[in-house]
Amino acid sequence: MFNDIGPLELVTIIVLAVLVFGPDKLPKVIQDVMRTVRKIREFSESAKQDIRQELGPEFKDFEFEDLNPKTFIRKQLDNEDLGLKELRNGFDLKKEMAEVTDAVHGRSPESSSPSLSASSGGRIDMTKKPEEPAKDDRPPFDADAT
C-alpha cells in the first residue's frame, strides 16, 4: 500500500503526526485510522463477492485485476489461442518503413531496397538537398483557405 514512501518521508509523517495530535492522542488516532482502513477493505471484498455472485457461473474465473488495461493486454498477449505472437513476429518494421519511403519518393520497392540496404545500411542520406520543383509546379493558391 505504501511502497513508494521512503524512510525520510515516513519519519517526517511520524514527526508531523506527533506534533499535530500530540503523544497522548496519537495511539487513538492510529487505532481509528486502522479501523477505517479495515472497514474499507471489508466493504471492497464484500462488493467483489456480490459482483461475482451477480455475474453468475460464466465469470467464475473473473479477476478484478484484469480490469487494469496493462494487465489485460499482458494476459492477452501471452494467450496462444489468439496467434498474436506469430503476427508480432511476422511484422518487419524496417521493411515496412522502406516501402513507405519508396512510395513517398515514387520509386519501385524492388529497385531501391537492395541499393538502399547495400549502400547505406538501410539509412537515408539526410545531407542531400531535396530536388527543387520547377517554378511552374507550384501548388494552386486558394485565397479562401488562408
pLDDT at 121: 53
Query: Percentage of the chain surpassing pLDDT 90?
Result: 20
pLDDT at residue 109 greater than cutoff 60: no
Grid cell 462488493 is found at 47
Residue of 127, 133, 126 lying closest to 101 (CA atoms):
126
Q: Can you give the residue ranges of every domain in the chain?
A: 1-60
Select the more confidently predicted residue: 72 or 10: 10
Burial class of residue 109 in the structure, from the number of CB atoms within 10 Å of its CB (0-12 exposed, 13-18 middle, 19+ buried): middle
pLDDT at residue 40 greater than cutoff 90: yes
Chain segment 64-95, per-residue pLDDT in tens: 777 788 887 777 776 665 565 666 677 777 88
**Model-level pTM?**
0.41
Select the more confidently predicted residue: 125 or 121: 125
